């Protein structure tokens, strides 16, 4: 037991969780904590908007596998965090958000900058804490990190009234905590594992489907070994890219609205689907009733509430993905040898691949193509390099054409689809992995939403690379208006402002415009070696549409290869 203030206890509790960096903005209601951070040894990165602070913590968490921490004051500071918290919640990313609150006596009196952030975030967090006594802070912070990082990861919010931060008390810092009613099931039931093995061995057309849960639990190795033992093709969700190396012969890429054609076709022909750490999102499955109609579906997930929520499955297995897959692999290996590469199923996959290649539509324009740029990034960025994306057409191009080779090198907002996510997330990733090159692939619309984080990069010396596929529009919305609304472009085109090269220079960053693929290669190589954040503006044709894609509300079988099919 030691006497200290609530603010001192916050910082001490963070140190005990090995927190080395916090992303946030100080304000009146969290100044006691910031004062303690001043000489704490914890790096405090001053952001320019709280939404970006939450995204930076999120990017840090996804790149490192550790809990990211963001901080804001009460009222508008706290509400500005909300989009970032919701983004982390939808993508199961472990962050702890700490907010200041008005003094206890002022709560519920509409005090200056008071807001019920507990009420606002209850639906988008795993849990929220509001310690009303200083001595509760050590335990609440410990619980927040435990909840955020265990079971299905996710955000936790800790809201601390200002006078609680200032209050002195005898503090006890627990080594571990237990929470009644919260005991994630890590180890699967052995009978369910045995049934899964039986189903996989009886299948003639097995497919493995990896989601974000494979990445979160670091289940990549047993996932790959099962695929290779069964000689089963592998598909992923958008967030699951990286669950399986996409340069592997068994990889078909992601399924879904903007998945690859071969993945969308093969998954529908499966007679057994091993789905791991996925939530059967409508963006991945298309129409639920048409998804995998003939397959026995095995669903492995640590969150029992996800099983059967969107799609009825034949075999539910609740457990950690890595633990479960290791057990499935060991039982499979005890019963079979590696399957043959010339099986009828492998021949069928090759047949579909060749057919897809013949159907691919090539852009015959002379413009610099988004696909060219994305493939060039893949060529130049080392396998361990991290690519973040914003949300929009560039993201969909990257989903199809950027091959993720290593785990935790692909960071994108999927569940909430948050424009403005990628750039601050790239900053968080670079802070987590300073020796690894980090690139944000952006659209001009998304980048404009959080471009003020350029100031953070310059001031803090965080040299990420931003590549803007600049089509001067909300490109994905424009594509939908072109296809489904008879080219009635309502409020999607931006005009000529801003000039991204001059914008970057105004912040003290490096700005380069590339109009040919040779210019881009030169600029990108220069940016990778730069010690200053670099923005590469690449003008592209706004009518370069993403194909193949599945129209909204359709099934995966309704995939379109080009505009003439509409």
Residue-level pLDDT at 336: 86
What is the pLDDT at residue 367?
Answer: 65
Q: What's residue 565's pLDDT?
A: 58
Mean pLDDT of 303-312: 94
DSSP letters, 65-115, are SS-EEEEE-STHHHHHTHHHHHHHHHTT--EEEEEEE--GGGTTTT-TT--
Kindly report the length of the chain: 566
What mean pLDDT comes out for the span 115-119?
Answer: 98
Alpha-helical segments (H) within 451-548:
454-460, 475-484, 500-507, 517-529
List all residues 6 or more positions away from 124 whose beta carbon is below 8 Å from its beta carbon.
Answer: 82, 85, 86, 89, 155
Q: Which residues have a catalytic role annotated?
A: 50, 112-113, 162, 476
Specify the pLDDT at position 561: 84
pLDDT digits (tens, 9 = 90+) for 119-166: 999 999 999 999 999 999 999 999 999 999 999 999 999 999 999 999
CA neighbor of 121 nearest in space, from 153, 97, 93, 145: 97
Spell 27-45 as b/e; 16+ CB within 10 A means b. Answer: bebbbbbbbbbeebebebb
Quote the CA–CA distance of 141 and 158 in Å, as a whole number: 7
547 SS3 class: coil
pLDDT of 403 strictly over 70: yes
Average pLDDT over residues 65-88: 98
User: Is residue 366's pLDDT more than 60?
Assistant: no
What pLDDT does 250 receive?
A: 97
**pLDDT tens-digit readout, 99-112:** 999 999 999 999 99
Share of the chain above pLDDT 90, in %: 92
489 token code pair: 């472009």
Number of H helices, E strands in the chain: 23, 20
Q: What is the mean pLDDT of residues 35-52?
A: 98
Over pLDDT 70: what percentage of the chain?
98
Residue 356's pLDDT band, with cuts at 50, 70 and 90, is: confident
Whether pLDDT at 540 is above 60: yes
In the predicted structure, residue 334 carries a pLDDT above the cut 80: yes
**Extended strands (E) in 132-286:** 156-161, 168-171, 206-210, 234-236, 251-254, 272-276
pLDDT tens string 442-495:
999 999 999 999 999 999 999 999 999 999 999 999 999 999 999 999 999 998
Q: If you average pLDDT over residues 194-221, what whole number do you get?
A: 97
User: Please, what is the average pLDDT of the chain?
Assistant: 95
Cα distances from 227 to residues 196, 218, 335, in angstroms, run 14, 16, 15
Closest CA to 64 of 439, 467, 425: 425
Tell whether the model's pLDDT for residue 364 goes beyond 60: no
């Amino acid at each position: 037991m030691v006497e200290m203030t609530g603010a001192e206890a916050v910082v001490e509790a963070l140190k005990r969780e090995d927190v080395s960096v916090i992303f946030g903005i100080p304000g009146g209601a969290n100044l006691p904590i910031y004062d303690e951070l001043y000489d704490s040894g914890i790096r405090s990165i001053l952001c320019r908007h709280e939404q970006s602070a939450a995204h930076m913590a999120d990017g840090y968490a996804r790149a490192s596998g550790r809990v990211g921490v963001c901080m804001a004051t009460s009222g508008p500071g706290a509400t500005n965090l909300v989009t970032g918290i919701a983004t982390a919640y939808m993508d199961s990313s472990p962050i702890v958000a700490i907010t200041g609150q008005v003094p206890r006596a002022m709560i519920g009196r509409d005090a200056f900058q008071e807001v019920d952030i507990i009420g606002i975030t209850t639906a988008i967090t795993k849990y929220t804490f509001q310690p009303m006594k200083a001595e509760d802070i050590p335990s609440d912070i410990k619980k927040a990190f435990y909840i955020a990082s265990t079971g299905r990861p996710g955000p936790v919010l800790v809201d601390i009234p200002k006078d609680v931060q200032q209050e002195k008390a005898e503090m006890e810092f627990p080594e571990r905590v237990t929470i009644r009613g919260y005991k994630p099931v890590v180890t699967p039931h052995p009978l369910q594992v045995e049934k899964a093995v039986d189903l996989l061995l009886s299948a003639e057309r097995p497919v493995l489907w990896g989601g974000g849960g494979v990445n979160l639990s670091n289940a990549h190795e047993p996932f790959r070994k099962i695929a290779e033992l069964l000689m089963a093709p592998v598909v992923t969700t958008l967030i699951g890219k990286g669950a399986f190396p996409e340069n592997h012969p068994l990889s078909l890429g992601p399924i879904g609205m903007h998945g690859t054609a071969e993945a969308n076709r093969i998954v529908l022909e499966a007679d057994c689907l091993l789905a791991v750490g996925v939530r059967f999102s409508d963006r991945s499955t298309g129409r639920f009733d048409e998804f995998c109609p003939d397959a026995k579906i095995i669903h492995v997930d640590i969150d029992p509430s996800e099983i059967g929520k969107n799609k009825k499955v034949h075999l539910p297995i609740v457990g950690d993905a890595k633990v479960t897959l290791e057990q499935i692999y060991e039982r499979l290996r005890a019963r079979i040898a590696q399957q043959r590469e010339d099986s009828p199923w492998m021949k069928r996959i090759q047949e579909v691949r060749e057919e897809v290649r013949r159907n691919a539509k090539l852009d015959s324009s002379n413009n610099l193509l988004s696909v060219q740029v994305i493939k060039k990034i893949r060529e130049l960025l080392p396998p361990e390099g991290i690519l973040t994306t914003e949300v929009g057409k560039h993201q969909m191009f990257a989903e199809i054409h950027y091959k993720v080779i290593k785990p935790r090198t692909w960071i994108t907002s999927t569940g909430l689809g948050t424009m403005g996510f990628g750039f601050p997330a790239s900053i968080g990733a670079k802070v987590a992995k300073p020796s690894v090159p980090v690139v944000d692939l952006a659209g001009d619309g998304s980048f404009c939403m959080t471009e003020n984080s350029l100031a953070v990069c310059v001031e803090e010396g965080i040299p990420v690379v931003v590549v803007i596929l600049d089509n001067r529009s909300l490109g994905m919305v424009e594509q939908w208006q072109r296809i489904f609304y008879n080219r009635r472009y309502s409020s999607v085109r931006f005009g000529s402002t801003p000039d991204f090269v001059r914008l970057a220079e105004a912040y003290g960053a490096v700005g380069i415009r590339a109009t040919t693929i040779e210019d881009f290669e030169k600029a990108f190589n220069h940016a990778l070696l730069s010690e200053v954040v670099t923005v590469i503006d690449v003008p592209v044709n706004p009518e370069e549409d993403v194909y193949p894609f599945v129209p909204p509300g359709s099934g995966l079988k309704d995939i379109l290869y080009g505009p003439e099919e509409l």
